[in-house]
Amino acid sequence: MDEASCLLGGFQGSGVETSMMVLVKALAHAGYSVLAQREYYSNITGRHSYILMRICSSREARSLSYPVHLIAALDSETVFTHAFELTEGGLLVLDRDLFPRKLREVASMEEQLRERLERRLASLGVGDDIESLVEHLASHAGVKVVAFSYRSILSSVGEKRRIPPTQVNRYLSSIIFSAVASLISLKPLYVEQALRSHFKGREELVANNMAVFEEVSARVREAKASLELEQPKLKWERLLVASGNDAVAMGKVAGGLRFQSYYPITPAADESLFLERLSYDESTESLLGPLLVLQVEDEIAAVASAIGAALAGVRSSTTTSGPGFDLMVEGLSYAGMNEVPIVVTYYQRGGPSTGQPTRGSQSDLFNAIFAGHGEFSRVVISSGDHLEAFYDAAEAFNIAEKYQVPVIHLLDKFLANSVTTMPFPDLDKIKVERGNVVAGGEGYKRFSLEALVPPRAFLGDAIFWHTGDEHDEYGRITEDPENREKMYRRRIEKMQLIRDELPRERKLTVQGGSDSNLLLIGWGSVKGVALDALEALEKEGVRGAYVNLKLLWPFPGEEVKKLLSSAEDVIAIEHSYGALVGKLISMELGVKVEKSVVKYTGRPITFDELQPALKKILSGVEKRVVLKHGA
């Protein structure tokens, strides 16, 4: 087969994420395209965590899918939770010592899930222990079980490598990435290269992990099991293995970022942690220039310090998620009033309130567009994949400085916490446009009414005022109604200037047949799964196109209206309850988008559920389909 889906699971803190990173890097060295999504609870340790991964040998991995061809489990909860997501004839790797474990003994499992599993096992006449479940899978679904004692693996490696007994359990997660790599028949060289990349300069860790790989490979050979994945046919010249957080961070640096503030919040914090590592690296500073990353006491301080840095003349940003953005809104309004070019990177997660801290959503669309009192110009952009996120993160600074507005880069947890193999960005595409920057001087008017975008001088270069109040051209407070009308109108009318001047590719992209009657419309991380679903539908004779909205505000009404006018079926796709992108279209164009596919469980939309949902809508059975799959 030319692609496979895998699931790696264990308890939070057991090293599942490390297994993911090492395995993705090894697959990348071998030439495969990979997309891996991390799902985890909001506690630090103990609860269930898993990785859903898709590996492709001849095309780009753009979406995730069930059922999976392989499950590699560190604990019994993974087996109980995901066993029925294995495809017929799939592979199950688990610890033989878990066989006696009963469902009721899994203390970390949520009671609702336990009860659902108990009912399902009872309906199938299967016992409530791992051994009975495994026997059922083998006899009724043809599952190939690869079971061996993890304890014996660690004991053997510990003796050979003289690892102290108190530390040998640190290599538990090595067993599952070793098992998957062995079943796919990855060369040991690729595994070693991945380990050296992940544990740079720590040769002992590399050697110890390779010892685990050798032991596990021997067990896999004894089991005579394999995942028959074709050799990769992709032609990579240069590629990166990166998460969405990493892609945004790298894009910001390429775009000239010099200051980033943040208060730690999921799923935004990893971006700032990546930037912090760069800021400590002297070689990076000599190459890219100075970078200050500041962890502050709260999100109010985060947005305020970013504003201060922008006023001083550096490209600055702050990063957050929904609850943090709520606290930033007063600062955002201040930036709107004073025309401060800051970038707010906004990673959505499940809400409202603290909601689902580690699950995904796209339900904050209107919060990004409308949050803040009064009317002021802002730009809201989105990214459909990791490569887009890189370029958009850099371009956000150009937009902010050229038009002197706050720019909100709206992303989500699904993109932030997914890791992929991506083409190496073309850095020649990154252009720095600082806009109408002047030295100031005598008679300088910071808020001149002579142009929609006034001349901008930095603090220390000229005399001017910045307050939260309405002001005259110098920034001095005034409540004169004639001045108010002119100043207010000038700030707002930037929106039309932005609509007119931004090129079409910055507003939206369209993929698929130009003469298609079916039009899927969405934004953000649904891009990949929408394209895969369209590709599958085309094989069944249904031609369609996907509109990837990149400029969400100001809304590109003319371009969208033209696309909608030529389509018979328009379906909105979104991780929300209300298909908010459809409501945005209705509000801006007066066109009602009646059909939608939505998901709001906090889990990603997968290919296997989107394609049948679209077929159901196209057949006239439903106008709205709510997706629910995923543990």
* Percent of the chain topping pLDDT 90: 94
514 has a pLDDT exceeding 70: no
Q: State the residue for tokens 């100043």.
A: 487
Q: What is the mean pLDDT of the chain?
A: 96
pLDDT score for 281: 77
On the question of a cis peptide bond just before residue 357, with omega within 30 degrees of 0, the verdict is no
Nearest-angstrom CA–CA distance, 147 and 134: 10
**298-313 average pLDDT score:** 98
The three-state secondary structure class of 354 is: coil
Q: Where are the alpha helices (DSSP H) in 162-202?
A: 172-183, 188-198
379 has a pLDDT exceeding 70: yes
pLDDT-derived band at 517, boundaries 50, 70, 90: confident
Q: Which residues pair with 91 in a beta bridge?
A: 70, 144
Higher per-residue pLDDT: 109 or 45: 109
Indicate yes or no: pTM above 0.85: yes
Q: What DSSP state is assigned to residue 171?
A: G
CA-nearest of 51, 25, 35, 55 to 200 is 25
**140-147 average pLDDT score:** 96
Residue 548 neighbours by CB distance under 10 Å:
22
Q: State the residue for tokens 């993160």.
A: 393
pLDDT score for 235: 84
**469-476 average pLDDT score:** 97
CA-nearest of 152, 150, 155, 179 to 167 is 155
| Encoded amino acid at 7, one letter | L
* Percent of the chain topping pLDDT 70: 99
pLDDT-derived band at 566, boundaries 50, 70, 90: confident
Contact yes or no for 206/192 (Cβ under 8 A): yes
**203-226 average pLDDT score:** 96
The three-state secondary structure class of 98 is: helix
Q: Give the CA distances from residue 119 to residues 103, 123, 124, 495, in Å, rounded to whole numbers and listed in that order.
A: 12, 6, 9, 56
Nearest-angstrom CA–CA distance, 180 and 190: 13
pLDDT-derived band at 583, boundaries 50, 70, 90: very high
Nearest-angstrom CA–CA distance, 368 and 359: 19
Record the tokens describing residue 238, joined without a space: 């240069």
The three-state secondary structure class of 206 is: helix
Residue 49 neighbours by CB distance under 10 Å:
27
Nearest-angstrom CA–CA distance, 63 and 59: 12
Domains of the chain and any CATH numbers? 3-223 (3.40.920.10), 241-429 (3.40.50.970), 436-502 (no CATH), 509-627 (3.40.50.920)
pLDDT score for 283: 67
pLDDT-derived band at 288, boundaries 50, 70, 90: confident
Q: What are phi and psi of 101, to 5 degrees?
A: -65, 135
